A and B are shown apart, each in its own frame.
Chain A
Amino acid sequence: MELSGFDREYIYSGHVACPGCGAAIAMRFVLKALGEKAIMVIPACCWSIIAGPYPMSTLRVPVLHTAFETGGSVASGIRAALDVKGDRETTVVTWAGDGGTFDIGFQALSGAVERNEDFIYICYDNEAYMNTGIQRSSSTPYGAWTTTTPGKDWKKMRKKNIVEALVAHRIRYAATASIAFPEDLVNKVKKAKNMKGSRFIHIFSTCPTGWRVASEMSVKIARMAVQTNIFPLYEVENGVKYTINYKPKGYLVKEYFKLQGRFRHLTDNDLDQIQEMVEEDWELLLRKAGVFPGE
């Protein structure tokens, strides 16, 4: 890993994230990869709070806080204005949660990607509306408890596959990344930074508060999500060229599930079913990457 200049921090001390927050770890690495020539758009999400109240800001780059569903559209406008001003150097980055990306902001994101707007859209995914108190989103995984999927009504629908939805737009670059794999994360942000057109990075970001885990488990859980194939690390160029970046260990999903309070209610039978779903998704990904299991 290229470490020169990597000791530079772009987050001032004093942000107000919860202990162990994956979204804070993700931001730190992303900014190190981006450098200071960036403008960040933050639609409503945990980071609307984490960045600090007026007149303080924890980030060393200019930030435009904006309405929930405007991550794709506000960034389009900033890019257009920079173009008009002749600034081709500054990277426009949208930094949104899963609610702002998968749900309420999906239309604006789809529109921006269809227009191939020249920006990087980063979704830090903590798999529910965490800032408002752990309500389910379309990114919440099958089996999870949230405050709006309580008791026997735990979520019975699969997590929306946002990367594949954007790949269907023939997006220039789409990648998954994890706070547990910082080298891979930084490389992907740097790669995206050197491209033109719409780029999307989906970062798996543990939420200790919402997932009911201890804060020191944050990175371990993110690592296990990758190792169990629940969240594979891969990238897609131009909507066709798939590359899988990490060979999984083949751990069983129940090892990941049993560490988290949000899955405590699941029976062995439920876990077997989830294991099958994860394997099915993984095989589908392998086929897309041109690897044919069992042939």
Chain B
Amino acid sequence: MKTVMEGSHAVAEAVKLARVQVISAYPITPQTHIVERLSEYCSDGTLDARFLRVESEHSAMAALIGASSTGVRTFTATSSQGLALMHELLHWASGARLPIVMAEVNRAMAPGWNIWTDQTDSLSQRDTGWIQIYCEDGQEALDRTIQAFRLAEAVNLPVMVILDAFFLSHTYEPVDVPDQEDVDTFLPPYEPRFFLDPENPCAFNQLAPPDIYMEMRLSIQRAMEKAVTVLEGVEKDYGRMFGRNYRAVEPIECEDAEIIMVTSGTVTSTCREVIKELRSRGQKVGLLKVSLFRPFPGAAIRENLAGAKKVAVVDRNCSFGSGGIFAREIQASLCNVPGHPPVYSYVAGLGGRDITPELLKEIYWHTKKEDVPPQDSLWVGVREVENGIIRV
């Protein structure tokens, strides 16, 4: 049944449908609507789960590490500074191979204080061994959250479902909410292979000297590699039951495109309109939406981009000293393909600055005009800065 709901509430709805057993969270804007709604569900009995209201994000993740190690389904949500505070335990969760699911509402890192959208918080955690899925709209946020539990439990890795602050988390859209019965069929109860059990006492996460540590790390890499195909299977089942299929990347008008723009998150919706307009004016332009960032879907990237003449990547993030992070990953994926297209990297919309259709068109025309891409990422939609001072 379609209901108009906020993006945050779509996530909360999915967590309820997934019959999560332990939730632990700490407040941070703009994630709070997710856990407020879940608190209500736990409080009124709609969701039969324990909700731990801990004293920091670090403790929220630690509590879930304890709960997940005891063999129950777990969830948390956070943003920005909260995610950064969890950093140590993000490594811990994946190293311990725990299928924890987290909603991450992209918010800019301070200073200066900024609660608006920016992907640098989640992308800073790209090497922690978490699967990362970026969502475009409320429907995808709901669907991906349900899928995340199946995926996490199949490969024993934690999953981050990522939403843009406000543009997605606080925007009301029609969302098709699946029936509980169908979700129960799609997502059976979690049955861990190993858990803390006095009947079968085992030690977890203990000292791992050089003669064993590397194999443990290799198993994480293998699980990540496997996650690409496992997600395909999960999506196939989901599509069969609920009629929606997102894939790791979604090509839009890419077949005959000379220039392909690449986006993630809510900018994709804006760019879909821009592509339509440019197409109507005879431009051979396509769009590739990237949903899966870890594991990075290199094969799908090559399949969709290798034949284009130029690629223009729009990054709402920046790795200082390197550039747009999606662009750098895409360049790395393409670099061994002979005659691959040049990749133009654009940094835009940091800290919640609007990425307008006009700006996306500017990016397109710039890519078309310039024969050779600059080595560095080009920052677009920025104010003039004189002697280090921003003109206001």
Are A74 and B65 neighbours in the complex by a CB distance under 8 Å? yes
| Cβ distance B96 to chain A, nearest Cβ, rounded Å | 9
Are A65 and B205 neighbours in the complex by a CB distance under 8 Å? yes
A75, closest chain B residue (CB) = B66
Residues of A in contact with B (beta carbons under 8 Å apart): 36-39, 41, 48-49, 51-54, 57, 59-67, 69-70, 72-85, 90, 107-108, 110-111, 114-115
In the complex, A90→B50 CA distance in Å?
A: 17
In the complex, A51→B208 CA distance in Å?
A: 12
Residues of chain B within 8 A (CB-CB) of A77 are: 22, 24, 52, 62-70, 74
B24, closest chain A residue (CB) = A77
Render B43-60 as a binary contact track against A, CB cut-off 8 A, 1 for contact: 000000110111110111
Bin the interface of chain B by size: 35 or more
Are B201 and A53 neighbours in the complex by a CB distance under 8 Å? no
Residues of chain B within 8 A (CB-CB) of A74 are: 62-63, 65-66
Residues of chain B within 8 A (CB-CB) of A61 are: 198, 201
Residues of chain A within 8 A (CB-CB) of B208 are: 53-54
On whether A53 and B209 interact (CB within 8 A), knowing A63-B204, A64-B69, A74-B62, the answer reads yes
Q: Which of B54, B58, B66 meets A81, CB within 8 Å?
A: B66
Residues of chain A within 8 A (CB-CB) of B52 are: 76-77, 80, 115
| Cβ distance B200 to chain A, nearest Cβ, rounded Å | 8
Are B92 and A85 neighbours in the complex by a CB distance under 8 Å? no
B60, closest chain A residue (CB) = A73
Are A64 and B198 neighbours in the complex by a CB distance under 8 Å? no
Is B256 in contact with chain A by the CB < 8 A criterion?
A: no
Q: Which of A62, A67, A84, A114 meets B21, CB within 8 Å?
A: A84
* Apart from the given pairs A62-B200, A64-B205, A74-B66, 19 other A-B contacts in the complex at a CB distance below 8 Å: A37-B198, A48-B206, A51-B203, A62-B198, A62-B204, A64-B66, A64-B69, A64-B196, A66-B62, A66-B205, A70-B58, A73-B66, A77-B68, A77-B70, A79-B66, A84-B50, A108-B55, A108-B56, A115-B53
Residues of chain A within 8 A (CB-CB) of B53 are: 115
Residues of B in contact with A (beta carbons under 8 Å apart): 21-22, 24, 49-50, 52-56, 58-60, 62-72, 74, 88-89, 92, 196-198, 200-209, 212
22 A–B contacts from the bound complex (CB under 8 Å): A49-B207, A52-B207, A53-B209, A54-B208, A57-B203, A64-B204, A64-B205, A65-B205, A66-B65, A73-B66, A76-B52, A76-B66, A77-B62, A80-B22, A80-B50, A81-B67, A81-B68, A83-B50, A84-B21, A85-B72, A108-B55, A110-B55
Are A80 and B204 neighbours in the complex by a CB distance under 8 Å? no
| Cβ distance B223 to chain A, nearest Cβ, rounded Å | 18
Which residue, of B58, B72, B198, B200, has the highest number of chain A Cβ atoms within 10 A? B198
| Cβ distance A36 to chain B, nearest Cβ, rounded Å | 6
A65, closest chain B residue (CB) = B205
Residues of chain B within 8 A (CB-CB) of A57 are: 201-203, 206
Are A76 and B63 neighbours in the complex by a CB distance under 8 Å? yes
In the complex, A48→B209 CA distance in Å?
A: 13
| Cβ distance A40 to chain B, nearest Cβ, rounded Å | 9
| Cβ distance A281 to chain B, nearest Cβ, rounded Å | 29
In the complex, A110→B209 CA distance in Å?
A: 33
A37, closest chain B residue (CB) = B198
In the complex, A170→B189 CA distance in Å?
A: 39
On whether A80 and B203 interact (CB within 8 A), knowing A70-B89, A85-B72, A115-B53, the answer reads no
In the complex, A53→B198 CA distance in Å?
A: 20
In the complex, A78→B198 CA distance in Å?
A: 13
B56, closest chain A residue (CB) = A107
In the complex, A222→B50 CA distance in Å?
A: 42
Residues of chain A within 8 A (CB-CB) of B59 are: 70, 72-73, 76, 107-108, 111
In the complex, A90→B196 CA distance in Å?
A: 11
Are A78 and B206 neighbours in the complex by a CB distance under 8 Å? no
Are B92 and A66 neighbours in the complex by a CB distance under 8 Å? yes
| Cβ distance B385 to chain A, nearest Cβ, rounded Å | 40
In the complex, A61→B89 CA distance in Å?
A: 24
Q: Which of B22, B65, B207 meets A84, CB within 8 Å?
A: B22
A-B complex: 7 closest residue pairs judged by Cβ atoms: A77-B66, A111-B55, A81-B70, A77-B63, A73-B62, A57-B203, A73-B59
| Cβ distance A167 to chain B, nearest Cβ, rounded Å | 19
In the complex, A172→B243 CA distance in Å?
A: 53
On whether A81 and B71 interact (CB within 8 A), knowing A70-B65, A73-B54, A74-B62, the answer reads yes
In the complex, A84→B22 CA distance in Å?
A: 8
Are A84 and B72 neighbours in the complex by a CB distance under 8 Å? yes
A53, closest chain B residue (CB) = B207
